[in-house]
Amino acid sequence: MLSKVICAVYLALWVRTCAFTLAADPHMTRALKLMSETPLIDGHNDLPWQFRQQFNNELNKVDLNTLETTHTNIPKIKEGRLGAQFWSAYAPCEAQYKDAVRHTLEQIDVVHRMCQKYPETFIFATSSQGIMDAFSKKKTASLIGVEGGHSIDSSLGTLRTMYHLGVRYLTLTHSCNTPWADNWLVDTGSEPSEHHGLSPFGKKLIVEMNRLGMLIDLSHVTVAVMNQVLNLSKAPVIFSHSSAYSICPNKRNVPDDVLKRVNETRGIVMVNFYNDYVTCSETAKLSDVADHFDHIKKVAGVGTIGFGGDYDGVTRLPEGLEDVSKVPNLVAELLRRGWTDEEVKAALGNNLLRVLREVELVRDSLGSMSPDDVPIPYEEVKNPCRTSYGYRSAGAVHSLSTLALLLTLALQALVTLTAL
């Protein structure tokens, strides 16, 4: 009788062990191992904007350990093995010509304060070496990308100031034209082109970004801007959160001919997870996102791929990628599809690290070049919310206008006195 009980116990343990073995996904095990060896670097996360929207940037009212109203919090970051994140400093297009610079500076400030408040999780970083240093300490390297060229108010001085504050990429437009670049909506026909791509000042800005060592982000721009920048830039470019147009023909995505050029210029396209850019519909699955990875790999090579989830900046996410914690599921799916360890590591972070190092090398090679201090022509930015200080010709016009006004008032007074 005892022997039968022992046999039954052993049988139960064996069945349990087999069930556990079957349940354990070898692809996930391998994915987590690779993510422990190479940092997952995500190109775009809008958590700072959620701080603005939900708490008006009052971080004292936020606990990122327990926050549940966002796609991103500290437990999700740890579960998702997030090695480095470009946090978006974003100001809406409605702020253009008004207070976009202030809003952007406040979003830069909130990223710095987040790192200071949670030093056990985040380390602020500005370089490829900074990313690796944070990864070696098992912390998330935190970088800043400014989303939208309107945030610099057409000022190279403002661009340089933001670089000094730690900004490492500028998305040339958001969903509005700037005085020097067309945005992606022009390609949909819903907005007119103002510059046929880049204006002369926009081309000067590309040169200055190369000199600074700031990544040029081509998400949100027209195809014309994409091609002009690829012609002009001495450094590789990024698409921080865009997907493949051939899989989902939304104008926010990247067409195959541009993907090939990104490969030729050693840049990177960081795949967006937003359903509307994944399947061009309101619903999507993790496998649909993997299709974009496969397509970019096929058309442009594995060296052109990265992760750009757009978490906390979108309203719909694929089944299986609902928040930052789920990204290992996608890594496991790529392995399931036959991606090699080296290919996965390239997409995880090695591609972005290479791009960042090459941008830094171009910066160093241009070290003797002086900052461009010629402002955008006043006629290109003239509006009721902008003064003309520094523009001597505009000031002269204003002085003449003032003189004309004074003469008119004097003549009116003279006429009035004569009538009396």
**Residue 305 confidence (pLDDT):** 98
Residue 403 pLDDT exceeds 50: no
* In the predicted structure, residue 355 carries a pLDDT above the cut 60: yes
Q: Tell me: the pLDDT tens digits for 124-180? A: 999 999 999 999 999 999 999 999 999 999 999 999 999 999 999 999 999 999 999
What is the average per-residue pLDDT within 234-259? 98
Catalytic residue among 71, 103, 150, 241: 241
Worst-scoring range by mean pLDDT, 10-24, 47-61, 157-171?
10-24
The catalytic residue among 42, 147, 153, 208 is 147
User: What is the pTM assigned to this prediction?
Assistant: 0.89
292 catalytic? Reply is no
What percent of the chain has a predicted confidence (pLDDT) above 70?
88
Average pLDDT over residues 213-224: 98
pLDDT averaged over the chain? 92
23 has pLDDT over 80: no
Angle between helices 200-212 and 351-365 (to 10 degrees): 100
Domain ranges of the chain: 17-365, 395-419
In the residue annotation, 310 being an active-site residue is answered as: yes
Asked if residue 205 has pLDDT above 50, the reply is yes
Whether 106 is a known active-site residue: answer: no
Beta-bridged to residue 254, according to DSSP, are 244
Q: Point out the catalytic residue in the list 103, 150, 174, 292.
A: 174
Alpha-helix residue ranges (DSSP H) falling in 80-123 = 100-117
Catalytic residue chosen out of the listed positions 44, 71, 292, 295: 44
6 — pLDDT class (breaks 50, 70, 90): very low
- Is 220 designated active site? yes
DSSP character at residue 19: H
Can you tell me the mean pLDDT for 227-241?
Answer: 98
pLDDT value of residue 24: 77
Instruction: Tell me what pLDDT residue 196 has.
Output: 97
Compute the distance between CA of residue 84 and CA of residue 166 in angstroms, rounded to an integer.
15
Known catalytic membership, residue 147: yes
Torsion of CA 332, 334, 337, 343, to 10 degrees: -120
In this predicted model, what pLDDT tens digit does every residue of 69-121 receive, in sequence order?
999 999 999 999 999 999 999 999 999 999 999 999 999 999 999 999 999 99
Greater model confidence, 397 or 231: 231
Report the residue count for the chain.
420
112 in active site: no
Does residue 49 register a pLDDT over 90?
Answer: yes
pLDDT, position 392: 84
Pick the CATH number of 17-365 from 3.20.20.140, 2.60.40.420, 3.40.47.10, 3.40.50.720: 3.20.20.140
- Average pLDDT of the segment spanning 4-23: 44
Mean pLDDT of 236-256: 98
**What pLDDT was estimated at residue 369?**
97
Q: Which of 156-170, 352-366, 402-416 has the lowest mean pLDDT?
A: 402-416
Helices (H), 248-350: 256-264, 275-278, 286-300, 327-336, 341-345
Q: pLDDT digit string (tens) for 361-385?
A: 999 999 999 999 999 999 999 999 9
- In the set 103, 150, 195, 220, the catalytic residue is 220
Task: Tell me the C-alpha distance between 335 and 319, whole Å.
Answer: 18
Task: Give the type of residue at 193.
Answer: S
Q: Given 187, 310, 312, 333, which residue is catalytic? A: 310
Dihedral angle sign, alpha carbons of residues 236, 40, 87, 110: negative
Q: Which is the catalytic residue, given 46, 208, 288, 343?
A: 46
DSSP letters for 208-267: HHHHHTPEEE-TTB-HHHHHHHHHH-SS--EESS--BTTTS--TTSB-HHHHHHHHHTT-
